[in-house]
């Protein structure tokens, strides 16, 4: 069977849904979306507080696991990726954080021409509908609804922000606006109490268009090349039925930081020696495909709480049933939040020009996967170095689409990353020790007060560190020999083929990745269509005091000493 389209989009995730909507705005353009996952109608996807369920199951999650990680004593780490319309935006923690302006200027410095902050900001705004309306930084009428959850009603959220200020840091009213650095609220992708994934925001509103075809449960086996031009895709439906879809325009891969390099490699595009070893004919030798993989990682620093006000008191079956019923009936209450409602961004060293540590604060002591809650009341800080230096890879094992590739993040491969975690722990302890927490702070549960020396901290991090679920960089944008795509996201040396998702990020932004991935797809949709790009923003960027002089970003300014 053969079908013909102008554009074929492979993957209906955070980027693919955006592309499907924007490209099909032109009724003369025929668009096909291929997605291996299925419907997102589950209550566990749509209810924000239930995020740990789809994230840790297999129905909506590829459930990738890394190879044994040398830096973690051989532990394998879970790397969840969405297997459903909306992709990872349908199973993630719903956090909406864009990154620091300097992150995108860094992209341009690394060879991603045109991707500096001033060029990206207008696309963040175009994508967004912020609860308080638009301004020079926020969008007011975009498809993606963002808000501040329950606006820090639990007093522990404000205690964390106040403690950061008492520790010598500044506060910020909007980390997605003028000033990222400092302590303040965190934002999330929720609308009227419902998870606002890219499936809800972009794909579903476009699916009534006659020029948009979405095929679910379709495994794309390979991109079809005619010489050095992509001309279509071969995909497989249930029962082994194989179909070829032709593209008269372009094939756009949006399968994510694991799926996109794996698909390129299965299609004969990648490092020649790797492809030959796996039994794949080399159609285009591109050595960077699958390399440069990086990820944020974090530890859970937990404390007992002296007052019975934490979410640990809501873990029983009756409490969960009542929370669920309130969501079903009214879309209100604890169910409408991801519970990461305050946080912070700081610099770990006086020499740094922008933040490299992120804090997620949670008024509960538990795990991100929902397991092992504290028997009693507690709270925790999730933190890790946000500009990792370690690099890994995604490498196919065989031509078989259903066989997961080898994934190695190489966590803690670099001393800079190990030192980053030491600083994260010590700085967190200083913050929680501030007077704002005196009425709440009990004993330190994890790692425990006896973990003090570098060796003790390193051992604890190796044993307990987890992914923050932000892999990227495996199809890096740039101009050097190891770059996979150019600044227009075209695969280097192949016509009619682009990669558009977080795999093209040259480096990790200092934030969660859903927001910058959506921004990237918004801007890419204009590039693909040949439309004039939105004018660069001249909005000022907030710069904290003490840059290059002190580690603290507020007053009193103090140098960090240990």
Contacts of 423 (CB under 8 A, 6+ apart): 348, 349, 357, 385, 560
Give me the mean pLDDT over the 336-363 stretch.
Answer: 96
The whole-angstrom separation of Cα 298 and Cα 415 is 16
Provide the pLDDT for residue 47: 98
pLDDT at 292 over 80: yes
pLDDT digits (tens, 9 = 90+) for 30-82: 999 999 999 999 999 999 999 999 999 999 999 999 999 999 999 999 999 99
pLDDT digits (tens, 9 = 90+) for 506-519: 999 999 999 999 99
Half-sphere exposure of 216 (CA within 13 A, CB side): 15
Continuous segment of H or E residues that includes residue 46: helix 43-46
Q: 98's torsion region: left (phi>0), alpha (psi -120 to 50) or beta?
A: alpha
Tell me how many degrees the CA angle 458-471-41 measures, rounded to the nearest 5: 120
Q: Cβ distance 305 to 159 under 8 Å? A: no
Q: What are the phi and psi torsion angles at 49 (to 5°)?
A: -70, -15
Joined tokens for residue 439: 């009425």
Q: What percent of the chain has pLDDT over 90?
A: 94
The whole-angstrom separation of Cα 252 and Cα 497 is 6
- Rounded-to-10 torsion of CA 15, 394, 99, 433: 130
Query: Does 51 show up as a binding residue in the annotation?
Result: no
Q: What are the phi and psi torsion angles at 525 (to 5°)?
A: -60, -35
The whole-angstrom separation of Cα 257 and Cα 263 is 11
The whole-angstrom separation of Cα 335 and Cα 540 is 36
Q: Cβ distance 183 to 358 under 8 Å? A: no
The whole-angstrom separation of Cα 518 and Cα 87 is 12
pLDDT band, very low/low/confident/very high, at 142 (cuts 50, 70, 90): very high
Q: What percent of the chain has pLDDT over 70?
A: 97
Joined tokens for residue 138: 């926020």
Domains annotated on the chain, with CATH: 1-7+26-146+189-249+266-289+471-498+505-529 (3.50.50.60), 149-185+297-385+412-464 (3.30.410.40)
pLDDT at 8 over 50: yes
The whole-angstrom separation of Cα 215 and Cα 547 is 51
Q: Per the confidence metrics, is the pTM higher than 0.95?
A: yes
Note the residue count of the chain.
562
pLDDT band, very low/low/confident/very high, at 395 (cuts 50, 70, 90): very high
The whole-angstrom separation of Cα 452 and Cα 308 is 29
pLDDT at 1 over 70: no
Task: Tell me the three-class secondary structure of 122-183, residue by residue.
Answer: HHHHHHEEECCCCCCCCCECCCEEEECCCCCCCHHHHHHHHHHHHCCCCECCCCCCCCCCEE
Continuous segment of H or E residues that includes residue 259: helix 256-266
Contacts of 171 (CB under 8 A, 6+ apart): 161, 164, 165, 182, 183, 184, 554
Average pLDDT, the chain: 96
Query: Does 381 show up as a binding residue in the annotation?
Result: no
Task: Tell me the three-class secondary structure of 451-475, residue by residue.
Answer: CCCHHHHHHHHHHHCEECCCCECCC
DSSP result, 13-37: STTHHHHHHHHTTSTT--EEEEESS
Q: Cβ distance 344 to 358 under 8 Å? A: yes
Query: Does 84 show up as a binding residue in the annotation?
Result: yes
Joined tokens for residue 119: 């060029």
The whole-angstrom separation of Cα 325 and Cα 478 is 50
pLDDT digits (tens, 9 = 90+) for 100-124: 999 999 999 999 999 999 999 999 9
Provide the pLDDT for residue 519: 98
Provide the pLDDT for residue 366: 87
Provide the pLDDT for residue 372: 60
Closest residue by Cα to residue 93 from 46, 143, 51, 149: 51
pLDDT digits (tens, 9 = 90+) for 536-559: 999 999 998 888 889 998 754 344
Give the sign of the dihedral formed by CA 363, CA 365, CA 369, CA 370.
negative
Q: Which long-range contacts (CB under 8 A, 24 or more apart) does 30-33 make?
A: 30/4, 30/5, 30/6, 30/211, 30/213, 31/5, 31/6, 31/7, 31/211, 31/212, 31/213, 32/3, 32/5, 32/7, 32/8, 32/213, 32/215, 32/245, 33/9, 33/203, 33/212, 33/213, 33/214, 33/215
In order of 97, 389, 497, 512, the CA distances from 147 in angstroms are: 11, 32, 36, 15
Query: Does 95 show up as a binding residue in the annotation?
Result: yes
Provide the pLDDT for residue 457: 98
What are the counts of helices (DSSP H) followed by strands (DSSP E) for the chain? 14, 27
Residue that the structure tokens 């499936």 belong to = 199
Query: Does 214 show up as a binding residue in the annotation?
Result: no
pLDDT digits (tens, 9 = 90+) for 226-280: 999 999 999 999 888 999 999 999 999 999 999 999 999 999 999 999 999 999 9
The number of beta carbons lying within 10 Å of the beta carbon of residue 68 is 12
In order of 31, 125, 181, 330, 347, the CA distances from 356 in angstroms are: 40, 24, 10, 39, 5
Joined tokens for residue 4: 């013909």
The whole-angstrom separation of Cα 256 and Cα 17 is 12
pLDDT digits (tens, 9 = 90+) for 198-227: 999 999 999 999 999 999 999 999 999 999
Residues involved in catalysis: 470
Provide the pLDDT for residue 136: 98
Joined tokens for residue 493: 């040396």
């Amino acid at each position: 069977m053969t079908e013909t389209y102008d554009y074929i989009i492979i993957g209906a995730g955070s980027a693919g849904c955006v592309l499907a909507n924007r490209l099909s705005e032109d009724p003369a353009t025929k668009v096909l979306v291929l997605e291996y996952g299925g419907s997102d109608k589950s209550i566990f996807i749509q209810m924000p507080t239930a995020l740990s369920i789809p994230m840790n199951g297999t129905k909506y999650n590829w459930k990738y696991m890394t190879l044994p990680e040398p830096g973690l004593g051989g532990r394998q780490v879970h790397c969840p990726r969405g297997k459903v319309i909306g992709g990872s935006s349908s199973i993630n923690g719903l956090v909406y954080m864009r990154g620091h302006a300097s992150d995108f200027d860094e992209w341009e410095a690394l060879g991603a021409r045109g991707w500096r902050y001033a060029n990206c900001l207008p696309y963040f705004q175009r994508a967004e509908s912020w609860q308080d309306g638009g301004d020079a930084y926020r969008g007011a009428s975009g498809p993606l609804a963002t808000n501040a959850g329950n606006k820090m009603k639990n007093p522990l959220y404000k205690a964390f922000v106040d403690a950061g200020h008492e520790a010598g840091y500044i506060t910020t009213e909007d980390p997605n606006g003028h000033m990222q650095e400092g302590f303040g609220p965190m934002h999330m992708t929720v609308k009227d109490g419902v998870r606002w994934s890219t499936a809800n925001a972009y794909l579903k509103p476009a699916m009534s268009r006659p020029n948009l075809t979405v095929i679910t449960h379709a495994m794309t086996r390979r991109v079809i090349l005619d010489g050095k031009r992509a001309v279509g895709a071969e995909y497989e439906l249930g029962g082994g039925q194989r179909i070829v879809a032709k593209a008269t325009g372009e094939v756009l891969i949006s399968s994510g930081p694991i799926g996109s390099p794996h698909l390129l490699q299965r299609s004969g595009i990648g490092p020649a020696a790797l492809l030959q070893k796996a039994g794949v004919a080399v159609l285009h030798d591109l050595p960077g495909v699958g390399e440069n993989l990086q990820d944020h990682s974090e530890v859970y620093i937990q404390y007992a709480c002296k007052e019975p006000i934490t979410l640990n008191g809501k873990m029983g079956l009756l409490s969960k049933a009542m929370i669920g019923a309130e969501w079903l009936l009214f879309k209100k209450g604890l169910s409408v939040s991801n519970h990461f409602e305050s946080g912070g961004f700081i610099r770990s060293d006086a020499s740094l020009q922008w933040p490299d540590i992120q804090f997620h604060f949670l008024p509960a002591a538990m795990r991100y996967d929902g397991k092992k809650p504290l028997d009693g009341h507690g709270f925790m800080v999730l933190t890790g170095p946000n500009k990792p230096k370690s690099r890994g890879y995604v490498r196919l094992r065989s031509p078989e689409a259903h066989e997961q590739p080898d994934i190695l993040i190489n966590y803690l491969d670099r001393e800079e990353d190990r030192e980053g975690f030491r600083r994260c722990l010590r700085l967190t302890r200083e913050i929680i020790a501030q007077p704002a927490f005196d009425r709440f702070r009990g004993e330190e549960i994890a790692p425990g007060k006896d973990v003090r020396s570098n060796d003790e901290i390193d051992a604890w991090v190796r044993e307990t560190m987890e992914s923050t679920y932000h892999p990227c960089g495996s199809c890096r944008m740039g101009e050097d020999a190891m770059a996979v795509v150019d600044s227009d996201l075209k695969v280097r040396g192949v016509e009619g083929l682009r990669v558009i998702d977080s795999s093209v990020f040259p480096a990790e932004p200092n934030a969660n990745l859903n927001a910058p991935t959506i921004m990237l797809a918004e801007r890419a949709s204009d590039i693909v269509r040949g439309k004039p790009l939105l004018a660069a923003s001249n909005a000022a960027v907030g710069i904290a005091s003490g840059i290059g002089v002190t580690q603290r970003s507020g007053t009193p300014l103090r140098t960090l000493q240990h």
